[in-house]
Amino acid sequence: MNRVPLPKTSPLPEPASALAELNPAPRLLMGPGPINADPRVLRAMGTPLIGQFDPQFRLMMRETMALFREVFATRNDWTLVADGTARAAIEMVMQSAIEPGDRVLVGSFGRFGQLLEEIARRCGAEVHIVQAEWGTVLDLAQFEAALKACSPKLVAVCQGDTSTTMMQPLEGLGELCHRHGALLQVDATATCGGAPLPADAWSVDAVTAGLQKCLGGPSGASPLTLSDAMARRIYHRRHIERGLQPADYLPGAGARIASNYMDLAMVMDYWSDAGLNHHTEATTMLYAARECGRIAVQEGLWAMFERHARVSRAVLAGVRAMGLEVYGDPAHKMPNVTGVRVPEGISADKVRQALLNDFNVEIGTSFGPLHGKVWRLGAMGYNARPDAVYTTLAALEAVLAAEGHRLPRGAGVDAAYASFKSVAPAA
């Protein structure tokens, strides 16, 4: 037998340190996410706990559904929040919509397209890939050729892939998928609240998101919305667990969903008026999701989009003024994450460590072929504001200069400041 060694864990130098009160150093999180949560969300999370079937709590669930219909620009009944990080929502939809042997087409242009492929394969799908070179995106002609070649039941794609900082155009893709008999699932973890994705207008059948990026919350709860067609496909596989079956229970005709926790048909029953118990709701995370949705709707979606776009322009201006090169196709750059090529002779990880240790600023590296070659600067959610951009650019300049990299001192902050001042925020 080939024995794979277990990973090792390092013991704490002093076991008693685990008894100390939590008091981490304050960080400005300017990487690809998570980001610093909005203080209003943190306050909401301190709301006293109540039972999951308390009428007050059931009202909060319905309010959260209504708020995220606005966020997703949809009338979908089945708009709810899954407990778990954004990956849980992706997997919940796939696990519930894909039956073993189904053909699935994945549009991939970075590491998180590879994740969609990974999850689909674990669901037993026959997976086909339409691939774009990292730093670029796909066009409709590529999708159409792949749809004709493999006739999938489901197409899955990210709107924004933070590994490459690229954003995939989606308008027209839903209609194209429907013409070829496929449903469309979009992972909007990195873009929800930062870029338009009108689910109804663009005919998207499932959108999944996370709180921890443009929505300004913590990781741990994942909004999602399902079209009627997607809801019917999932509910066709409805099989209520034995201990909960009502007297008039009739199982769905489809194959039982393999995972109990990821069974979206049962979660739909839980969020429905029937309130059929599935799991104990993560109460504090629902409070967070509700507050993220409330803040987004109160600000206005288009105001949020413009705020992220303004910050993106300022980051670009600052980075370029420092003489640094932006990674990827700028025409398809995400509005909330910017890829920056690491200058020749500079250690990417050493710079990130100095930013963290000396300035309490966190930026990201990337994955696979881009690791050590690209930094990812994120400015989103609560951190999509001028002072956070100025602080990050000034700190990056200081560290690069200390590492011997020649650059025009002060130019980055000056350029970002000028960019912010050149366009007044929307009223």
- What are 36's two structure tokens? 């610093």
Quickly name the fold that domain 301-421 has: Aspartate Aminotransferase, domain 1 (3.90.1150)
Cα–Cα distance, 315 to 9 (Å, whole number) = 38
Q: From 162, 273, 284, 300, select the one nearest 221 (Cα to Cα).
A: 284
Residue limits of CATH 3.90.1150.10 in the chain: 301-421
pLDDT one digit per residue (tens) for the chain, 427 residues: 678 888 887 776 666 777 889 999 999 999 999 999 999 999 999 999 999 999 999 999 999 999 999 999 999 999 999 999 999 999 999 999 999 999 999 999 999 999 999 999 999 999 999 999 999 999 999 999 999 999 999 999 999 999 999 999 999 999 999 999 999 999 999 999 999 999 999 999 999 999 999 999 999 999 999 999 999 999 999 999 998 898 889 899 999 999 999 999 999 999 999 898 888 999 999 999 999 999 999 999 999 999 999 999 999 999 999 999 999 999 999 999 999 999 999 999 999 999 999 999 999 998 889 999 999 999 999 999 999 999 999 999 999 999 999 999 999 999 999 999 996 555 4
* pTM confidence score: 0.94
412 DSSP 8-state letter: H
Fold for domain 39-297?
Aspartate Aminotransferase; domain 2 (3.40.640)
- Do the beta carbons of residue 310 and residue 385 sit within 8 Å? no
CA dist., res. 88 & res. 25, Å (int): 29
What are the strands, taking DSSP E only, across 264-414? 337-341, 361-362, 374-378
- Of 303, 326, 300, 302, the closest CA to residue 313 belongs to 326
Rg of the chain over all Cα atoms, to the nearest angstrom: 23
Span(s) in the chain for CATH 3.40.640.10: 39-297
Distance CA 123, CA 276 (A): 25
